[in-house]
Amino acid sequence: MSLTEYRRKRRFDQTREPEPGKRAPAGRRPIFVVQLHHASRRHYDFRLQVGDALKSWAVPKGPSYDPKVKRMAVEVEDHPLDYAGFEGEIPKGHYGGGHVAQFDHGVWSSEGDVEAQLAKGHLRFELFGDKLKGGWHLVRSGKPARQPQWLLFKDDDAYAGSLEADDLLAGVTAPPAADAARAGRGKAHKLRRERVETARPKRRRDWASRAAKLPGARKAKPPTAAFEPQLARLGDTPPEGEQWLHEIKWDGYRILATMAKGEAQLWSRNALPWTAKLPEIAAAVEALGPMSLALDGELIAGQGRKEDFNLLQSTLSGERPGKLVLALFDLLHVDGIDISAAPLRARKALLQEILEHAGSPHLAFSSHIEADGAGAYALAGEQHFEGIISKRADRPYHPGRSDDWRKTKQLASDEFAVVGYTAPRGSRQGFGSLLLAKPDAEHGWRYVGRVGTGFTDAMLAQISERIGKAGGAKPTAHVGTTDTDLRHAKWFAPRFVVEVYYRGIGRQSLLRQPSLKAVREDKRVGELRDSDRAPAKQAPAKQPAATARGRKQPAAPELPALSSPSKVLYPEDGITKQQVWDYYRAVMPWLLPEIADRPLSIIRCPAGTGRACFFQKHHTAGLERVDAVRLKEEGGHAGQYLVVRDEASVMELVQFNALEFHPWGSHAEQPGRADRVVFDLDPGPDVPFAEVKRAAMDIRRHLASLELESFLRVSGGKGLHIVVPLNPGCEWRLVKRFAQGFAEALAQSAPDRFVASASKRLRGGRIFVDYLRNARGATAVASYSLRARPGAPVAMPLAWTQLSRLARADAFPLAAALASLRRRRKDPWEGIDTVRQDLSRWEG
79 Cβ neighbours under 8 A, 6+ residues apart? 3, 6, 47, 53, 54, 56
Question: What span, in angstroms and rounded, lies between the C-alpha atoms of 699 and 742?
Answer: 10
d(CA 255, CA 273): 10
Give the DSSP letter of residue 270: T
Q: Given this model, what pLDDT does residue 560 score?
A: 86
> Taking Cα atoms as reference points, which of 139, 17, 125 lies closest to residue 79?
17
Three-state SS at 168: helix
- Tell me how far apart the alpha carbons of residues 599 and 777 are, in angstroms, rounded to a whole number: 8
Whether the per-residue pLDDT at 533 is higher than 70: the answer is no
Tell me whether residue 249 is one of the annotated catalytic residues: yes
Residues 57 and 148 reside in one and the same domain = yes
Q: What CATH number corresponds to the domain at position 734?
A: 3.90.920.10
pLDDT of res. 22: 64
| Pairing assessment for the beta strands 720-731 and 363-365 based on DSSP bridges | unpaired
3-state secondary structure (DSSP) of residue 126: strand
pLDDT at 541 over 60: no
In a domain, 253, yes or no: yes
Shared-domain flag, residues 405 and 425: no
Pairing between β-strand 497-501 and β-strand 244-248 as defined by DSSP bridges: unpaired
Among 707, 708, 709, 588, residue whose Cα is nearest residue 649: 588
pLDDT digits (tens, 9 = 90+) for 352-397: 999 998 888 999 999 999 999 988 988 888 888 889 999 999 999 9
Strands 337-338 and 293-301: unpaired
User: Which pLDDT band, with edges at 50, 70 and 90, does 130 fall under?
Assistant: very high
Active-site option among 249, 306, 348, 409: 249
Checking DSSP bridges between strand 673-683 and strand 767-770, what pairing results, if any? antiparallel
Taking a C-beta distance cutoff of 8 angstroms, is the pair 606, 655 a contact?
Answer: no
**253 and 165 within one domain:** no
For 591-605, give the DSSP string: HHHHHTTSEEEEEE-
Question: For residue 53, which phi and psi values (nearest 5 degrees)?
Answer: -145, 165
Has residue 557 been placed in a domain? no
pLDDT(645) > 50? yes
Same domain, 14 and 160: yes
Task: Check whether 544 has a pLDDT greater than 50.
Answer: no
Statement: residue 566 has pLDDT above 50: yes
Q: In what order do the strands lie in the sheet with 230-234?
A: 230-234, 400-409, 387-392, 244-248, 368-370
Confidence of residue 536 (pLDDT cuts 50, 70, 90): very low
Residues 486 and 580 in one domain: no
What CATH number corresponds to the domain at position 483?
2.40.50.140
Residues 226 and 361 in one domain: yes
Please tell me the total count of domains within the chain: 5
If pLDDT is split at 50, 70 and 90, which confidence band does 703 have? very high
Residues 110 and 155 sit within 8 Å (Cβ to Cβ): no
pLDDT at 481: 77
What pairing do the DSSP bridges indicate for beta strands 133-140 and 149-154? Answer: antiparallel
CA nearest to 320, candidates 117, 150, 500: 117
How many of the other CB atoms lie within 10 Å of CB of 212?
A: 16
What is the tens place of the pLDDT at every residue in 307-350? 788 889 888 887 788 899 999 999 999 999 999 999 999 999 99
Please check whether residue 550 lies inside any domain of the structure. Answer: no
pLDDT computed for residue 576 by the predictor: 93
| Residue range 786-842, pLDDT digits in tens | 999 999 999 999 999 999 999 999 999 999 999 999 888 889 998 898 888 988 776
Q: Based on the domain organization, do 642 and 593 belong to the same domain?
A: yes
Based on DSSP, count helices (H) and strands (E) in the chain, helices before strands: 14, 40
The answer to the question of residue 537 being in a domain is no
Q: Are residues 648 and 700 in the same domain?
A: no
| Percentage of residues of the chain with pLDDT beyond 70 | 93
Residues 807 and 32: their CA atoms lie apart, in Å, by 49
Same domain flag for 235 and 345: yes
Q: What is the DSSP letter of 480?
A: -
Last residue of a domain, one of 356, 382, 409: 409
Q: Is the pLDDT of residue 540 over 70?
A: no
424 or 347, greater pLDDT: 347
Neighbouring-strand partners of residue 108? 127
Residue 423 falls inside a structural domain = yes
- Residues 589 and 703 reside in one and the same domain: no
pLDDT surpassing 60 at residue 187: yes
* Helix segments in 73-122, DSSP class H: 114-120
Question: Does residue 721 share a domain with residue 609?
Answer: no
Residues 319 and 266 in one domain: yes
Residue 127 forms part of a structural domain: yes
Residue 599 near residue 661 (C-beta atoms within 8 A):
no
CATH code of residue 256: 3.30.470.30
Is residue 493 within 8 A of residue 622, CB to CB? The reply is: yes
What is the reported pLDDT for 189?
58
Residue 193 domain-assigned (yes or no): no
Q: Return d(Cα 245, Cα 843) in angstroms, integer.
A: 62
Q: Which of 663, 686, 712 is the last residue of a domain?
A: 663
Segments forming the whole domain that contains residue 631: 568-663
